[in-house]
Amino acid sequence: MKASEYQLAQQSYVSQGMARALTLGNRGPLRFDQQGRLHEDILEAYWRTGFYVFENVIDPSEIKLLQAEIENLLARAPVDNGALEDAQGRPAFGQEFARPIYSLIPPLTDPWGGTDKLNGRHPTKMTQPESASSAPKKVVFLMSGMCQTMDSGLRLYGHPELLKIAASINGDDFVPYNDAIFIKQPGLGGSVSWHQDGVTHWDSPQWDQGIHGFNFQVQLYDTSAQSCLWVVPGTHKDGKLDIKQRVADNAGSEFLPDAVPLFAAAGDVTIVNRQALHGSFANTSKDMRVSLTFGFHRRSSVLGASGALSQSNDEVYDAQRIDRRSQVVAVAIDARQQFYPEESRYQYLPMLGREAQLAHSEENWERVIRDYNLHDLSI
Ligand SMILES: O=C(O)CCC(=O)C(=O)O
Q: pLDDT (tens digit, 9 = 90+) per residue, 251-276?
A: 999 999 999 999 999 999 999 999 99
Cβ contacts of residue 337 below 8 Å, gap of 6+?
A: 158, 343, 345, 360
The conformational region for residue 225 under phi > 0 = left, psi -120 to 50 = alpha, else beta, is alpha
Give tens-digit pLDDT for 24-69: 999 999 999 999 999 999 999 999 999 999 999 999 999 999 999 9
Q: Is 215 in the pocket of ligand 1 (CB under 6 A)?
A: yes
Is a pLDDT exceeding 90 seen at residue 173?
A: yes
Q: Which helix (H) or strand (E) holds 219?
A: strand 214-219
Q: Is 326 in the pocket of ligand 1 (CB under 6 A)?
A: no
Give tens-digit pLDDT for 296-320: 999 999 999 999 898 989 999 999 9
Question: Separation of 287 CA from ligand 1 center, angstroms?
Answer: 16
pLDDT at 119: 86
Contact, 250 vs 256, CB < 8 A? yes
CA atoms of 121 and 269, how far apart (whole Å): 25
Is a pLDDT exceeding 90 seen at residue 126?
A: yes
CA atoms of 290 and 156, how far apart (whole Å): 14
Q: Is 192 in the pocket of ligand 1 (CB under 6 A)?
A: yes
Question: Separation of 364 CA from ligand 1 center, angstroms?
Answer: 30
Q: Is 293 in the pocket of ligand 1 (CB under 6 A)?
A: yes
Q: What percent of the chain has pLDDT over 70?
A: 100
How many residues are recorded in the chain? Answer: 379
CA atoms of 262 and 246, how far apart (whole Å): 21
CA atoms of 33 and 2, how far apart (whole Å): 50
Atom 7 in ligand 1: residue holding the nearest Cα: 279
Q: Is 183 in the pocket of ligand 1 (CB under 6 A)?
A: no
Q: Which helix (H) or strand (E) holds 212?
A: none
User: What domains does the chain contain, in order, with CATH numbers?
Assistant: 3-300 (2.60.120.620)
CA atoms of 28 and 17, how far apart (whole Å): 18
Contact, 102 vs 143, CB < 8 A? yes
Q: Say how far residue 291 (Cα) sits from the centre of its chain.
A: 7
CA atoms within 13 A on the CB side of 207: 14
Average pLDDT over residues 231-235: 98
Whether this model's pTM surpasses 0.95: yes
Q: Which helix (H) or strand (E) holds 228?
A: none
Average pLDDT over residues 116-132: 94
